[in-house]
Amino acid sequence: MKNNQTIKENFDFAFENHKKNNLKVAEKVYKKILEKDPNHFPSTILLGTLSAQTKNFDVAKQLLEKGIKINPNHPEAHYNLGLVFNELVDFEKAITCYEKAIEINPNYADAYNNLGNSYKELKNFEKAITCYEKATEINPNYADAYNNLGIAFKSLGNDQEAINCYKKTIQLE
């Protein structure tokens, strides 16, 4: 982080490196920004996301929880924390996070899809199906949600519905 640059300029630099998968550079700059401004929301959330990308889930969890305290109405922060809880095999907490993301943004198809994945992991296939159907209602071209929907139908022994979902997945891909 260059001292003569503003936090915004440094953040932009870190974010560009993050998008280009230059994670070590991005991580270093995010951390420097947080040294200067410990409550810099975008750096907190993106460093949390980066930590999850590098499989450092405990750090990711701490940073995302801190980010949510700074800005509790940011759906992606709740969504990303849900992803971390999925990785930590805490599906109940993941469900809570996805539900909060959906409460903030009712048209969050990815949150519905991953909410369905958490329910599927808990063997609650009926709720999973409801979530996947909502994800495909929001985004009719969501191949992953159709595939997940097929898996859930198959798990319940509804082979014809599963086949229909798999055909839709293939058509979309």
Read out DSSP for 64-89? HHHHHHH-TT-HHHHHHHHHHHHHTT
pLDDT of 3: 58
Question: How high is the pLDDT of residue 129?
Answer: 98
Model pLDDT, residue 61: 98
- List own/partner pairs for 124-128 with CB under 8 A and 24 or more apart: 125/152, 125/155, 125/156, 126/156, 128/152
The predicted structure's pLDDT at residue 4: 58
For the chain, residues with pLDDT lower than 50 are 1
pLDDT at residue 38, as a whole number: 96
Tell me the angle at which helices 159-172 and 143-155 cross, rounded to the nearest 10 degrees.
160
